[in-house]
Structure 1
């Protein structure tokens, strides 16, 4: 370890640094969605999105730990405003789906860039994120499909979320989290 950590060492590290902001933006948006569901008296959907927000926070802290382990400085920037007002249950669900599709593209780009640059440690680090992102995108696809099927019958949607989407997530093989996972 050097006594003067570098800020960025490569294009991959630059993109990974940007990903910190993307993950914080996702956390912020999921909190806004959870609050909207909570305010609409949809506790299962609210609980689901509060948990999603915590997952995004933990992703940030995994990236922070990666930078700490590689002796690379971390700078935290601001986050974007979250959308907080929705017309119906489908709207925040569709926003979450679109967000997960976007994050999937970002993660694939990160893994691809690490590979192009011959950063095998970076590429290996991104493997867990790719697996995790596939699961996240699939879950949001399912949730959006079920929301569409349920239509105005929100009891069925709440029941589905409670029954099918409230189990513990598989964190096996997850990278270390700076400060510990919450």
Structure 2
């Protein structure tokens, strides 16, 4: 079986980014339903970031005149037993995306696509921040005596860059 091209892999990553966005909405709604507004706000913002990442990839594919389709997404998880579960899910999701982004970078390099390689550099940097901030949040959740300790941490501390990186690629239709 022939391996996928960088552009095919990038089109596949659009689905993964939209799926991550939708999963973060489900996590945010879970926290909202538990009257945990700081956690809900954090994950609503994360959802927008993931949506923007998908739209950055869409814009890149449009700019390179690469044919692709906007995919549907699989169902997301909505039920959680504890507040730690959705945070652990988010960390696992970010680690998986990091592996995908690394594979995309390698594919661009292997296929002698310097524009693709350069495009993926920003996402590599972004994934370091994403995994780090989600690791910190899970560590706080594991050490917290109660859920309000996590809420207070999020109210007090800046976790991640909230998608405000001026070096970010353009998103199709504009970043939200």
Measured against the shorter chain, the TM-score band is over 0.9
Residue in 2 that maps onto 1:98: 92
Q: 2: distance between equivalents of 1:67 and 1:44?
A: 35
Residue in 2 that maps onto 1:66: 60
Computed over aligned residues only, the root mean square deviation of the Cα atoms, in angstroms, reads 1.2
Tell me, yes or no, if structure 1 residue 150 matches structure 2 residue 144.
yes
Residue 169 (structure 2) aligned to one of 162, 167, 175: 175
Residue in 2 that maps onto 1:159: 152
* CA shift for structure 1 position 165: 3.2
SS of equivalent residue, structure 2 residue 78: coil
Aligned ranges 1:34-53 → 2 under 5 Å: 34-53=28-47
Aligned ranges 1:75-114 → 2 under 5 Å: 75-114=69-108
Q: 2: distance between equivalents of 1:122 and 1:169?
A: 21
Residue in 2 that maps onto 1:4: none
* CA shift for structure 1 position 168: 4.3
* CA shift for structure 1 position 163: 1.4
Q: 1: distance between equivalents of 2:55 and 2:26?
A: 20
TM-score normalised according to structure 2 size? 0.94
Q: 1: distance between equivalents of 2:130 and 2:164?
A: 11
Q: Say if 1:97 and 1:137, in contact at 8 Å, map to a contact too.
A: yes
SS of equivalent residue, structure 1 residue 135: helix
SS of equivalent residue, structure 2 residue 168: coil
Tell me, yes or no, if structure 1 residue 134 matches structure 2 residue 128.
yes
Where structure 1 has 5 or more consecutive residues not aligned to the other structure, the ranges are 1-9
TM-score normalised according to structure 1 size? 0.91
Residue in 1 that maps onto 2:5: 11
SS of equivalent residue, structure 1 residue 37: helix
Q: 1: distance between equivalents of 2:117 and 2:174?
A: 23
* Runs of 4+ with >2 A deviation: 165-170
Tell me, yes or no, if structure 1 residue 124 matches structure 2 residue 118.
yes
SS of equivalent residue, structure 2 residue 71: coil
